[in-house]
Chains A and B, each alone.
Chain A
Amino acid sequence: MNILLVDDEPLELEQLEYLILNKFPNWKIFKAQDASIALQIVKQHDIFLAFLDIQIPGKSGLDLAKELTQTYTIDIIMVTAFQNFEYAQTSIRLGVIDYITKPIIEAELMAVLSKYERLGRYTEQIVDAISIIHAEYSEKLTLNYLASKIHINPAYLSRKFHEEVGMGFSEY
């Protein structure tokens, strides 16, 4: 699972990486110190979840979130040192998944990440499959379509899905 961290402070990037990898050693972390680097990463990699600091120089974290939600299906979590109601409100209106304030409290971060816990145990193919399901759930999805999208055999996908998720693909 690919995670993007955006913050202008190198130390904060290291801290988040450390805390996340501690819990989810399989996740792949990408780091960016401003919005333009973040956008490049998002273009090149399939990012599932992004932590965006609001106060970054140049384009703000909120503007970046807006841009990302318009073009991609990425779960976004806003991070800020400001205990400011307007920021929280704007974030909610942008449809972000969660909002955490600095200093980062480990338990709070873990609570936010807990909904990804199951996902963290899945192999990359299944995570890909689930993210496609989530992105296109409004359309009629078939196993064959999904399998072709992630370039594996439909029968294999079906078996793996059942093994890892604990329920059949159609049920899901």
Chain B
Amino acid sequence: MLTVEAFSLNIMIAALAPLLGAFTLLFLFIFEKRIDLLEKKTREIALERELQTALYNQLNQEIQPHFFFNTLNSILSLARLDRKTELIRSIETLSKLLKFKYQTNNTFITIDEEITYVNYYLEIQKIRFRDRLHYEFSIDPNVKQAITIPFIIQTFIENAFKHSFEKYVGEAFLKTTIEKREEEIHITVWNNAVEGTEELSLDRGLGLENITKRLELLFPDGKTSVQLINSDNGTSVLAIFPFILKYEI
């Protein structure tokens, strides 16, 4: 026999349980959104921090001081030798390079922007290396508006100078290929110096590590990778990351 108390308790549970469930669901729903938001925030902050490291490397460390002093020295040479047209052009290019460096604080840029920057750098190196340096680009026109992390190709190319062209005698060939393979972008920077397998020096390791980290942070859901490939006809770096156009974000 059911008592009145037990009966009303049963009724109460029957009435309250769905309500309670609904509340819990609602809470979870709101909470989940906030957790997501929090995760996204953390990732953004981490990406920001890695970019700062990259910027710091770009601006202060790595080959920066000696690249800068060499460039100034070339500019002085042109001035002393009275080669005004070349002089003006090189100061302009250096200015454009520095402007880009100091303006970049986005965590991502388009491939097109990165290429523009790399071209300034190569133009300056051409002043120093003259006929010894040969470089070319092969870029799939569809990827130009895709996003990537700043200084990705720049770091690969700087490495080629630092570890190959400035070390070994002979012609310096550099080729940058950017292609779209299914829903991925493949960037390859190849140079003709054959390096010993023994050396993956610390500073280069750090440069590549920073790129790997920033790619992972910018594309948390996609497959990303960075690898150094030694072959008989040279050395290349291959970076893979998802293809996302700028306007899709």
Contacts and interface: CB of A to CB of B under 8 A. Distances in A.
Interface of A: 8-12, 14-15, 18-19, 34, 36, 55, 57-58, 81-83, 101-104
Main secondary structure of the interface of A (DSSP, over half): loop
A19 B72 CA distance: 16
B181 interface: no
Given A15-B77, A82-B66, A102-B72, 9 more contacts: A9-B74, A11-B128, A15-B81, A57-B165, A57-B168, A81-B70, A103-B73, A103-B76, A104-B73
B80 A19 contact: yes
A165 to B, nearest CB: 33
A103 B71 CA distance: 8
Which 9 pairs, one residue from A and one from B, show the smallest C-beta to C-beta distance? A15-B77, A103-B73, A58-B169, A102-B73, A81-B69, A81-B66, A103-B72, A57-B169, A11-B77
Contacts of B166: 55, 57
A34 B77 contact: no
Given A58-B168, A58-B169, A82-B66, A18 B81 contact: yes
Interface string B116-156: 00000000000111101000000000000000000000000
Contacts of A19: 80
A74 to B, nearest CB: 22
B69 A10 contact: no
Given A18-B80, A57-B168, A104-B76, A9 B128 contact: yes
Interface residues of B, number: 23
Contacts of A83: 65, 69
Main secondary structure of the interface of B (DSSP, over half): helix
B77 A12 contact: yes
B169 A12 contact: no
A104 B70 CA distance: 10
Nearest to B168: A57
A4 B132 CA distance: 21
Contacts of B167: 57
B78 interface: yes
A79 to B, nearest CB: 10
Nearest to A79: B73
A90 B81 CA distance: 32
A8 B169 CA distance: 9
Nearest to B68: A81
Contacts of B165: 57
Given A9-B128, A57-B165, A58-B169, A102 B81 contact: no
A81 B169 contact: no
Contacts of B73: 12, 15, 81, 102-104
Interface string B75-91: 01110110000000000
Contact of B169 (A15, A34, A101): A34
A9 B38 CA distance: 53
A166 to B, nearest CB: 34
Nearest to A57: B169
5 contacts: A9-B129, A11-B77, A55-B66, A81-B70, A104-B76
A25 B66 CA distance: 31
Given A11-B130, A57-B169, A103 B69 contact: yes
Contacts of B168: 57-58
B201 to A, nearest CB: 16
Contacts of B72: 102-103
A83 B64 CA distance: 12
A19 B74 CA distance: 14
Given A55-B166, A83-B65, A15 B76 contact: yes
